Amino acid sequence: MPAHRYTDVYTRVDVPLADHDRRWPTRRITAAPLWVPVDLRDGNQALAEPMDPERKRRLFELMVRMGYTEIEVGYPSASQTDYDFVRLLAETDIAPDDVTIVVFTPARRDLIERTVESIRDVRNPVVIHMYAATAPIWRDTVLGKDRDELREMILAGGRDVWELAGHLPNVRFEFSPEVFTLTEPDYVIEICDAITELWQATPARPVILNLPATVEVATPNVYADQIEYMDRTLARRDGVILSVHPHNDRGTGIACAELAVLAGAQRVEGCIFGTGERTGNVDIATLALNLYTQGVDPMIDFSDIDEIRRTVEYCTRMEIHPRHPYVGDLVHTAFSGTHQDAIKKGMAEHRARARVEGRSEREIAWRVPYLPIDPADIGRTYDAVIRVNSQSGKGGIAYLLEAEYGIELPRRLQMDLSRRVQQYTDTTGDEVTARDIWGIFSAAYLSDADDRAVRLTAMHLDEAAGRTELTLQVDGTESHSTHQDAGPIEALAAALHAHEMPVEILSLHQSSMRSRADADALTILEYRTADGSAWTAGRDRSSLTATLDAVIRAANADAGARTAVAP
């Protein structure tokens, strides 16, 4: 590939920070920045089918419910739909009083006039966001202006904004030097300081300086250096809200945003799930939930993430990738056997700690392998945490049976059942559900042959006399036996032994199935065979009947095995 065509002259701007003088590498994020979703403007511009008014309103109302307090709602000078939506906010009460409305405009007087007209009589706090491209290649190729000419164009736009809206008490101002990442640092400082002076930035009426990675062109540490340099160099810093707007061209937009906050950014613009031009704007959901997994309140409500996803997918007509962080269908799902085993053990340990501490599972610290977040915290159930395909192991199979049916499998049986499930998935190539696994289990350990060699047709237990009476049907012939000082299981074993059909029980496990409102008892039995051991099971409303049934099944299986190898 012709890598020589790309040079770091294009992909990097040197930041004048002294060596070893960075502050951001040693910092930690301890509080959420101000999140500003731009789905209705930047995200909307990236859609093959831009949102109609109904979709814009639905997405706006979702953002309000989630707790966003500042929302960029459109580009009213460029789109009649956006203009009408801003007017809708002015003329109705769908925007709560504490939500700040942001409108976007280029640095051009006629478009600024249209923008200011759109916010007429808006009761909410308003931010007028003016932008202009400042990077050399944009200056030379797109705008045809040198540094001085562009500076004057930007300040002229700033003066127009101040003239038309500076007197409005509910209006503040934002400026973006577009493609900040490729603009010379001294030039950005020069323009930003001139703008904050023009707009009279003070702590009481701060100006937002938004520093976008309009095109992501360098590693995240470079962006962090650029933001730290601005944070340390800007005039009137206490009257400035330092904002960032990363895109994701290199796939590191989230890292850029996180490092930018460490470097001094107080505000982050992005889209709920990263919708935007090219590879997208930065993903606010991932950023916010990254903080959440570090014990920091993200200040946005993602407790019903599936409803948020459904709304965003409807409004944008774009599906969320199944492996998208936090929200994708498969992000809390393990197919790998080793992952499943670790998750199963971690979930069991989590439940045990909750019992020991006498608190609910939602109250104690979350420490489960492979799951950085408790799925329940974002409205997910545990049903989809473990799913089984040909890559899965015994842990996942056992987890699904326990989660769906309440059955706890002995470890050695997990290995036997896993082999059978593996044969099924290798043959079909399909994922298997808990219901499929139960079907495989039933066929292997609960099936009844029509020609059973032995059946238990009657049993009478005389507890007072300590006597058990049995009636067996062996190869079609009934026989009765009485067993003194023997319980039902011992009596059945003795009767089978007398018919040369011994069943040596190695282990016996009982559980209650949750497949019905009235749970059935399930007995799982391991018995000795000529080759080692095997498994069978019994199921009934009575645990005793279920156990007797399992013993009879073992006897028939062993008899069938002997018949199969007889000369």
Taken in order of first residue, the domains within the chain and their CATH numbers are: 20-316 (3.20.20.70), 337-445 (1.10.287.1400), 454-565 (3.30.160.270)
Sign of CA dihedral 536, 537, 538, 539: negative
Q: Are strands 505-512 and 521-529 parallel, antiparallel or unpaired?
A: antiparallel
Q: What is the structure's pLDDT at 451? A: 65
**Please, which residues bridge with residue 36 across strands?**
269
Q: Strand 521-529: give its sheet, edge to edge.
A: 505-512, 521-529, 532-540
pTM: 0.75
In 3D space, the residue among 386, 377, 402 whose CA is nearest the CA of residue 524 turns out to be 402
The DSSP secondary-structure symbol of 143 reads I
Three-class SS of residue 454? Answer: strand
Task: Look at the block and give the residue holding tokens 């309000």.
Answer: 64
Q: Which two tokens stand for residue 549?
A: 């049934």
Q: At what angle do helices 284-292 and 253-262 cross, to 10 degrees?
A: 50
User: Could you list the mean pLDDT of each consecutive 10-residue stretch along the chain, which spans 567 residues?
Assistant: 72 76 94 98 93 96 98 96 97 96 98 98 97 95 96 98 97 97 96 98 98 94 96 98 97 98 98 93 98 96 94 93 89 76 88 94 92 92 60 70 85 85 83 88 84 86 87 90 90 91 89 71 90 89 92 85 53
The answer for residues whose C-beta is within 8 angstroms of residue 176's C-beta and 6 or more apart is 129, 130, 131, 132, 210, 211, 212, 245
CB neighbour burial string for 177-197, b if at least 16 within 10 angstroms, e if fewer: bbbbbbbebebbbebbbbbbe
Q: What is the structure's pLDDT at 330? A: 79
Q: What is the structure's pLDDT at 516? A: 52
Helices (H), 277-393: 284-292, 305-316, 337-357
Distance (Å, rounded) from C-alpha 249 to C-alpha 220?
12
Q: What is the structure's pLDDT at 530? A: 79
Q: Which two tokens stand for residue 347?
A: 């979930």
